[in-house]
């Protein structure tokens, strides 16, 4: 099998992970976590979201977190935005990467943003424009890329069109997100076979959830197709906060365990990441769904 | 990829799963569980262990459970034995399959049975003899097949020799067990590449644990090598009872979810299995490590 020799992990725990928890993590702890992730060798970290502070108090300190990031020129810090106002806020900070997303499902788009897919597309166009004009680089993700309510209920062509559309609008990195945890190896292969020939030199990554236990199996399928970028969250943070151990993002440590077993380099020391998974497990007073962090 | 068209699941929850729990499951509940597993389409079930009742009170009702098994001629019921006395007890019941095991690790063998590997080998010889003379079929497993303390710390040749030795001693089915959860796709491929040419027509299955999160990734690797038999436990039972959500056997529902996504038939309805995972989760008052049972 022809795996990539090196894989880039984007650690999304500080954003996608922490925002799913009821207990708000103080800015000091977030900054210490991010500094230690950098020390562990993580080269891309989603550090904050610019969203309404009342809707998501977990992310209310986005500006403060970014103002205190350890100054490592090599680390691709990114922040999520959902609308133009979020991009405006992000552009007043020093964050180099801004993430925008578009749902491939009309129902999910309306639910999440109040916009139809067509409206959302116009919105991301304006958001990307502003970000690029402000000297930022943009990461664009397609939500529900492997289905919304049932596996594969979103047509492959539709996802491909939306992904290519994001590239046309100016994103420099593309992510397919399995928002509702429906991906399986067959769907991953189908989607990548259709999309990879269309993305040119734009790096394509996957954002997978372990909702139904297939997270790492999907990583394997993607590796076999040459994918070398994955979003992961330390300890598998990002699950439903009301269900102890409910699966969230694929766990950073488990993913690293697999990659390193396959002799794929990542530059990341999983044991240093696991220290924080155990700390956050204690802080949130519940077990995290990842497996490997408990052992290293 | 050339997957098998059909996979046989051996449900080990009633034995390997329940024996790891502190709370002893009453015989009535075990019998109802097994009957419903049969109704769900499971065709092979490990139902009991003939071990010292004081050492393992969870299995003290082995005879009672077997005397009350639903009489389905097609279901391969099996019981675990650790010594000759266990085989003698098993042979006084109607259980058609007897399982014996041999550890590939000297340290693990001594720890577990007080016997060196050489002594244990002589013991399994006598156990298999008695079982076969009593008209039983024997399933033989090699424990620690992918390592004892670190991945791959047991030589492939050694495992192959022990597996072939079990066939010579009369087992009709062979199982490689990842007792300490150390397998990874590279080790699985190496081991199967070495062993498969040596087993002739004896069916070879894998008994995997999800200790470090690689359970289903290892299933994928094995499927790609043509393996069509896996031991699984409903809800992923079989983890450490002292750690909530600690991973045990690969979960039946998660494994079925993967197999069915790959269009591999199993004859098993995962939703019917999941009913019991949720019941047992409530009975044990802790979350089970499987993911899929929570959703179906």
CA distances from A253 to A19, A235, A271, B196, B263 (A): 20, 7, 8, 32, 30
Q: Give the ipTM of the model, two decimals please.
A: 0.92
Q: How far, in Å, CA of A25 to CA of A57, rounded?
A: 10
Average pLDDT over residues A225-250: 83
Average pLDDT, chain A: 94
* pLDDT greater than 80 at residue A36: yes
Residue of B183, B210, B213, B233 for testing the chain A interface, max A β-carbons within 10 Å: B213
Output the pLDDT for position B286. Answer: 86
**Is A240 annotated in the active site?**
yes
| Other CB atoms within 10 A of residue B114 CB | 10
Minimum CA–CA partner of A290 in chain B: B213
DSSP-based three-state secondary structure for B202: coil
Average pLDDT over residues A62-82: 93
Minimum CA–CA partner of A252 in chain B: B213
Minimum CA–CA partner of A209 in chain B: B291
Known catalytic residues of B are: 240
Length of chain B: 296
Average pLDDT over residues A230-238: 96
Average pLDDT over residues A242-264: 87
Whole-number percent of chain B with pLDDT over 70: 97
Instruction: Report yes or no: A274 and A292 within 8 Å, Cβ to Cβ.
Output: yes
Give contacts of A 153-192 with B, CB under 8 A. 184-187
Radius of gyration over every alpha carbon of chain A, rounded to an integer in angstroms = 17
Angle between helices A215-224 and B215-224 (to 10 degrees): 40
Q: How far, in Å, CA of A140 to CA of A163, rounded?
A: 8
With beta carbons under 8 A apart, name residues in chain A contacting B262.
Answer: 184-186
With beta carbons under 8 A apart, name residues in chain A contacting B261.
Answer: 151, 184-187, 214
- pLDDT tens, B98-154? 999 999 999 999 988 889 999 999 999 999 999 999 999 999 999 999 999 999 999
| Residue in A177, A188, A118 with CA at minimum distance from that of residue A152 | A188
Output the pLDDT for position A95. Answer: 97
Average pLDDT over residues A11-25: 93
Q: Nearest CA of chain A to the CA of B102: how many Å? A: 26
Catalytic one among A94, A186, A193, A240? A240
Question: Residue A40: phi, psi to the nearest 5?
Answer: -75, -10
Q: How far, in Å, CA of B215 to CA of B238, rounded?
A: 13
Average pLDDT over residues B8-28: 94
Cβ distance of B257 and A212 shorter than 8 Å: yes
Output the pLDDT for position B246. Answer: 60
Minimum CA–CA partner of B151 in chain A: A261
Output the pLDDT for position B20. Answer: 87
Q: Nearest CA of chain B to the CA of A217: how many Å? A: 5
Is B226 in the A-facing interface, judged by CB distances under 8 Å? no
Instruction: Report yes or no: A288 and A295 within 8 Å, Cβ to Cβ.
Output: no
Output the pLDDT for position B73. Answer: 77
* pLDDT greater than 80 at residue A91: yes
Output the pLDDT for position B22. Answer: 87
Q: How far, in Å, CA of B46 to CA of B29, rounded?
A: 15
Q: How far, in Å, CA of B197 to CA of B200, rounded?
A: 7
Output the pLDDT for position A286. Answer: 86
With beta carbons under 8 A apart, name residues in chain A contacting B254.
Answer: 212-214
Give me the domains of chain B, ranges plus CATH numbers: 8-294 (3.20.20.70)
Output the pLDDT for position A244. Answer: 54
Cβ distance of B294 and A246 shorter than 8 Å: yes
Question: Residue A21: phi, psi to the nearest 5?
Answer: -95, 145
Cβ distance of A212 and B254 shorter than 8 Å: yes
B16 or A239, greater pLDDT: B16
- 3-class DSSP string for A138-161: EEEEEECCCCCCCCCCCCHHHHHH
Cβ distance of A212 and B295 shorter than 8 Å: yes
Output the pLDDT for position B241. Answer: 52
Output the pLDDT for position B4. Answer: 97
What's the N-to-C CA distance of chain A in angstroms? 28
Output the pLDDT for position B136. Answer: 98
Of A244, A245, A257, the CB nearest to B212: A257
* pLDDT greater than 90 at residue B71: no
Of A211, A216, A263, the CB nearest to B213: A216
Output the pLDDT for position A12. Answer: 97
Residue B248 burial (C-beta neighbours within 10 Å; 0-12, 13-18, 19+): buried
- Token output for A34: 């991010």
Give contacts of A 245-284 with B, CB under 8 A. 245-247, 251, 254, 257-258, 261-263
- pLDDT tens, B155-190? 999 999 999 999 999 999 999 999 989 999 999 999
Output the pLDDT for position A246. Answer: 60
Q: How far, in Å, CA of A193 to CA of A285, rounded?
A: 42
Output the pLDDT for position B1. Answer: 57
Q: What's CA B105's distance to the chain center, in Å?
A: 18
Of A214, A254, A261, the CB nearest to B257: A214
Average pLDDT over residues A19-44: 96
Minimum CA–CA partner of A296 in chain B: B212
Q: How many alpha carbons lie under 13 Å from residue A69 in its C-beta half-sphere? A: 27
Give contacts of B 192-221 with A, CB under 8 A. 210-214, 216-217, 219-220
Cβ distance of B217 and A216 shorter than 8 Å: yes
Cβ distance of A263 and B186 shorter than 8 Å: yes
- pLDDT tens, A173-211? 999 999 989 999 999 999 999 999 999 999 999 999 999
Cβ distance of B262 and A184 shorter than 8 Å: yes
Q: Nearest CA of chain B to the CA of A160: how many Å? A: 22
pLDDT confidence band for A2 (50 / 70 / 90): confident
Q: Nearest CA of chain A to the CA of B105: how many Å? A: 21
Average pLDDT over residues A257-274: 98
- 3-class DSSP string for chain A: CCCCCECEEEECHHHHHHHHCCCCCCHHHHHHHHHHHHHCCCCEEEEEEECCCCCCHHHCCHHHHHHCCCCCCCCEEEEEECCHHHHHHHHCCCCCEEEEEEECCHHHHHHHHCCCHHHHHHHHHHHHHHHHHCCCEEEEEEECCCCCCCCCCCCHHHHHHHHHHHHHHCCCEEEEECCCCCCCHHHHHHHHHHHHHHCCCCCEEEECECCCCCHHHHHHHHHHCCCCEEEEEHHHCCCCCCCCCCCCECEHHHHHHHHHHCCCECCCCHHHHHHHHHHHHHHHCCCCCCCHHHCC
Q: How far, in Å, CA of A161 to CA of B178, rounded?
A: 44
With beta carbons under 8 A apart, name residues in chain B contacting A261.
Answer: 151, 184-187, 214
Which residue, chain included where needed, has tokens 């991906």? A183
E strands in chain B: 8-11, 44-50, 76-81, 97-103, 137-143, 173-177, 204-207, 229-232
How many pairs of residues across A and B have Cβ atoms under 8 Å apart?
96
Residue A95 burial (C-beta neighbours within 10 Å; 0-12, 13-18, 19+): buried
With beta carbons under 8 A apart, name residues in chain A contacting B186.
Answer: 261-263
Average pLDDT over residues B57-70: 96
With beta carbons under 8 A apart, name residues in chain B contacting A262.
Answer: 184-186
Average pLDDT over residues B199-213: 96
* pLDDT greater than 60 at residue B244: no
- pLDDT tens, B258-284? 999 999 999 999 999 999 999 999 999
Cβ distance of A213 and B262 shorter than 8 Å: no
């Amino acid at each position: 099998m022809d795996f990539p020799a090196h894989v880039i992990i984007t650690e999304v725990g500080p954003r996608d992970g922490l925002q799913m928890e009821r207990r708000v993590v103080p800015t000091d702890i977030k900054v210490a976590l991010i500094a230690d992730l950098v020390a562990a060798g993580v080269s891309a970290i989603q550090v904050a979201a610019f969203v309404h502070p009342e809707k998501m108090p977990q992310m209310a300190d986005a500006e403060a977190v970014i103002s205190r990031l350890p100054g490592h020129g090599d680390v691709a810090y990114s922040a999520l935005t959902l609308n133009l106002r979020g991009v405006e806020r992000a552009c007043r900070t020093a964050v180099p990467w801004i993430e925008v997303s578009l749902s491939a499902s009309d129902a999910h788009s309306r639910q999440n943003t109040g916009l139809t897919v067509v409206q959302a597309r116009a919105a991301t166009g304006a958001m990307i424009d502003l970000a690029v004009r402000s000297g930022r680089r943009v990461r664009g993700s397609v939500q529900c890329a492997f289905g919304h309510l049932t596996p594969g209920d979103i047509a492959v062509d539709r996802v491909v069109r939306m992904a290519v559309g994001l590239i046309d609008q100016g994103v420099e990195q593309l992510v397919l997100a399995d928002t509702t945890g429906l991906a399986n190896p067959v769907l991953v292969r189908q989607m990548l076979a259709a999309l990879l020939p269309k993305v040119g030199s734009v790096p394509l990554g996957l954002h997978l959830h372990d909702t139904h236990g297939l997270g790492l199996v999907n990583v394997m399928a993607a590796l076999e197709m040459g994918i070398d970028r994955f979003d992961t969250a330390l300890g598998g943070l990002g699950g439903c906060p009301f269900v102890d151990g409910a699966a969230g993002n694929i766990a950073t440590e488990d993913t690293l365990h697999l990659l390193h077993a396959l002799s794929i380099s990542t530059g990341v020391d999983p044991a240093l990441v696991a220290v924080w998974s155990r700390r956050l497990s204690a802080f949130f007073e519940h077990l995290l769904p990842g497996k490997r962090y408990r052992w290293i």
